[in-house]
Structure 1
Amino acid sequence: MLETGMVFKIAGIIICSALMIILGRADRKKKLPTGTKLIFQVLISLIIIYFGIKIEFLRAPSSSLGGYLYLSYLSIPLTIIWLISITNSIGQADELGDITPYIVFIASLTFLVVSLVQRQGLILAEVLSLIMAVIAFIFIKYLPRGKFSSYYMSFGFILAVIAIVGVSKSTAALTLLIPFLILGVPIIDSSYSIVANYARQESPGSGIGKFPLFSESGSRSRLR
């Protein structure tokens, strides 16, 4: 039987994932301003934090390296940055080609192994659900490219949440490292785009709506 706290977290994950899908669909249809999209992503991140999913502390893989590093006031901002970074890295991976479902599938398999080794029931449930959804995306070949791109942000969000849920375990450092290893291409691409856009001054002025990480595909520099 599931504990009350776990049920509460699962409810939060379902609600926030649904909100990410709605945001993705709205962005695909209406081309939301980048600043507006970022604001909604922050709000969704705050909602998942309310449901008890946040990075409260880090723990070294080996006890010889020390104990816990409590984040205190850095917990909420670090969680928001983590969620938005992974969410948008996955969301923008489609610009490298229609590879997003495959990236998510590989990352999910990796998390599946971690959850089995650590016996983390909540992560296992999330990963299995994500794997089934991604398999459906991969095998629906007849749909036009980009048809399901509005769901990609939700995929990235779920992967980011899975990493956070595993932070309290003994392999926390490894758990946080896995998304960067698996999602290396989209993360590097996004980082490269930020530097390139600032260097080339492609975004005149300043402000949240001009932040290069959320720039439209036409102005982004792709790392091949």
Structure 2
Amino acid sequence: MFEIGIMFKIAGIIICSVLMVILGRIDRKKKLPTGVKLIFQVLISLIIVYSGVRIEFLRAPSSSSGGYLYLSYLSIPLTVIWLISITNSIGQADELGDITPYIVFIASLTFLVVSIIQRQGLILAEVLSLIMAAISFIFIKYLPRGKFSSYYMSFGFILAVIAIVGVSKSTAALTLLIPLLILGVPIIDSSYSIVVNYAR
């Protein structure tokens, strides 16, 4: 039997992933203003936060609190920033070409190894689902570009959630560092796009 806390997390992940897909589809059809889309992303992120998925601590080897720096009241805003940053990085990566499924696939493989090492069943189930989805998207490249771009926002969101859920073991630093290295190009690209959009 699953604990109540885990059930809340699973429900939150499923609900918020679906909401991100819906938001992505609406954005693709209606071209939502950046501010409006950001508001909805914040609301969805808050749902997942209050379901129990949040960044509660960071690795701090020099800290007197057992090697961890507990975030306290900074936990919620930092979690929301993390979720939105990775979500938009993956969501906008397709502007560089049809590389999003490949980025998701590589990042998911990284998480797969980490989840096996840490024996985290919840992460393993999510990662396997994401890997299968990424492979499916890779093999249907012949469809018009952007056909499935509305799903990429959800992919980024799930990757961000997986990273947070994985930050509970001693290998947490790798859990966050490796995906950041993998997602470096789309993160830089999306950051540049955001700056340009606001500059206009």
Q: TM-score range by the shorter chain?
A: over 0.9
For the aligned residue pairs, the C-alpha RMSD in angstroms reads 2.5
> Is the 8 Å Cα contact of residues 61 and 68 (structure 2) preserved in structure 1?
no
In structure 2, distance between residues paired with 1:195 and 1:11 = 35
Task: Name 1:185's counterpart in structure 2.
Answer: 185
- Alpha-carbon displacement from aligned partner over 1:133-182 (angstroms, at most 9, x marks no partner): 11111111331111000000000000000000011211112211122111
Q: Which moved more, 1:171-180 or 1:146-155?
A: 171-180
In structure 2, distance between residues paired with 1:5 and 1:36 = 31
> Is the 8 Å Cα contact of residues 55 and 75 (structure 1) preserved in structure 2?
yes
> Is the 8 Å Cα contact of residues 54 and 79 (structure 1) preserved in structure 2?
yes
> Which structure is larger by alpha-carbon Rg, 1 or 2?
1
CA shift at 1:88, angstroms? 0.2
- Alpha-carbon displacement from aligned partner over 1:68-122 (angstroms, at most 9, x marks no partner): 2110111010000000000000000000001000000000000000100111111
Q: Which moved more, 1:75-84 or 1:187-196?
A: 187-196
> Is the 8 Å Cα contact of residues 123 and 166 (structure 2) preserved in structure 1?
yes
3-state SS of 1:168 partner: coil
> Is the 8 Å Cα contact of residues 110 and 179 (structure 2) preserved in structure 1?
no
Count of paired positions? 200
3-state SS of 1:189 partner: helix
The TM-score, its normalising length taken from structure 1, stands at: 0.83
> Is the 8 Å Cα contact of residues 90 and 186 (structure 1) preserved in structure 2?
yes
Q: Which moved more, 1:135-144 or 1:149-158?
A: 135-144
CA shift at 1:193, angstroms? 3.8
> Is the 8 Å Cα contact of residues 61 and 172 (structure 1) preserved in structure 2?
no
3-state SS of 1:142 partner: coil
- Alpha-carbon displacement from aligned partner over 1:173-209 (angstroms, at most 9, x marks no partner): 221112211111101212334556677xxxxxxxxxx
